[in-house]
Homo-oligomer: A and B are copies of this chain.
């Protein structure tokens, strides 16, 4: 199980090789990529902050939970930190299984859970300013609805 939080570029080939097995007929790989816009606003770049040790621990818990919930042979979760330019890969999730349906379901579930649970934060930087994007997919947002938020 390949789990990593790193400021280095993420390599999809590495994740594929990490989950590939002779008994697994299907591999699904998801790449989260830095978009050039968000909510209609031009993004210049992103900066990812993380609590690296807890992020890796949480990613490992989510990946292990996926192995149990779905009929997977292996999974890999990698998240990049630091400054990322448009088009670069921030998140890489790969899963392998005997058959394809499990890989698509597990991949989607894993990406959702990573975004909900893993302590990583994204700052959007525009030409004229910047802002930390917090929630709304995280665990915290389930406890505090939007109308109750502090700021």
Contact = CB atoms under 8 A, between A and B. Distances in A.
Contact of A29 (B12, B25, B86): B12
Interface in A43-86: 86
Nearest to A43: B22
Contacts of A27: 30-31, 33
Interface size class of A (residues with CB under 8 A): 20 to 34
A23 interface: yes
A29 B32 contact: no
Contacts of A36: 22-23
A89 to B, nearest CB: 8
Contacts of A16: 12, 31
A26 B108 CA distance: 11
A100 B107 CA distance: 10
A111 interface: yes
16 contacts: A12-B16, A20-B33, A20-B87, A22-B35, A23-B35, A23-B36, A24-B35, A25-B33, A26-B30, A27-B30, A27-B31, A27-B33, A28-B30, A29-B31, A100-B111, A104-B107
